[in-house]
Amino acid sequence: MSFDVTSGLSSVGSTIRSAAGAVSTGLNVAARLGSAVNNLSSPAGLLSAIRSINLPVGGEAISKIISSSATFTGVDAGTDWRVRLNMPKGSFFDNSPILRPLWEAGGLIFPYTPSISINHTANYNELSVVHQNYQFNAYQNSRVSDIQITGDFSVEDGVQAQYWLAAVHFLRSVTKMYTGDTAYAGNPPPVLNFSAYGDYVFKNVPVVVKSFSMSLPKDVNYISTNVSAGAGTGLDKIARTANQIAGIASVLGDRQTAQTANTVRNVSSLVAGVIPGTAGGNRVAGGSYVPTKSDLTITLMPVYSRENVKQFSLQQFVSGAYVNKGYV
């Protein structure tokens, strides 16, 4: 049976309208996907182009690729337990077109659950006392070591490729100090907030990025993408809105809505990449190629001000009073 591009995408848009009405009155842009595709000159040519993009070796069905898309969208911080590194606000980070995908997602979020390791130590000095059978130890200090995060980073379409670029650019930026003829000159790299797995695991931990590494393997495919310099309209906006709906639906446990929104997001991003002039916003000159699968490793160092450490109370820490204060 033949597949009608117009009717199929209109049906998807109808489903997204219902989901958008349930989770947010402001997320109604994706409902216009069907009419947007109707305005394209050659639906048959569009379908052919979509089928041929990033077709994997072995002829794996593209529907499987679409349904397994990762979601980066930000949700309510009170219920979101994903591994997240928040960006510094109120600075020139706000206006970077390269970092815009991170702002829309609510920070740097790992698309898949990473491995996290942290080490707590209490240091003691051994006192040398003659003619004794047992040693005496004097407490010196306690220490929270670096937080090591290692995880996979997969990319399946142009939207996720832009997120990959934003993540790498963000980590490059926050490992550099402020220099030049600016008011910030001389300041060290910015302090970030790290959260993961709920209130009593990692919650608003103040950290700096000591190091990071991102692999670019030779045995994977690479996806081309461009950075949008403007806010974006048309299919770009539809893709971002559908991505937001997918994130909210995932948190609410509505898998069907999340999968449908992911389908709209991927199809619209594919269309934007295939048909010239359909992508919104001004493009920053120069294309980039992103690996479909890579490994990201970040080393974070917890940092606390002297004043906060001076006022630290072990009794309050034990009782849970510091749950939002970032102490680990």
Q: Is 76 helix (H, G, I), strand (E, B) or coil?
A: coil
- The CB-side HSE value for 14 (13 A sphere, CA atoms) comes to 6
Residue 114: closest CA among 70, 82, 79: 82
**Other Cβ atoms within 10 Å of 244 Cβ, number:** 26
**Other Cβ atoms within 10 Å of 273 Cβ, number:** 23
Domain spans of the chain, in order of start:
1-82+234-282, 88-227+284-328
Each residue's pLDDT expressed in tens, for the chain with a length of 328 residues:
333 434 444 444 444 444 444 434 333 434 444 444 444 555 555 455 444 444 444 444 444 434 333 444 554 455 778 899 987 776 667 788 898 888 888 889 988 899 999 999 999 999 888 888 888 999 999 999 999 999 999 898 888 899 999 999 999 999 999 888 777 788 888 899 999 998 889 999 999 999 999 999 999 999 988 886 544 445 555 666 666 676 666 656 667 776 776 676 666 555 554 443 344 444 444 588 999 999 999 999 999 988 888 889 999 999 988 888 889 8
CA distance 87 to 94: 9
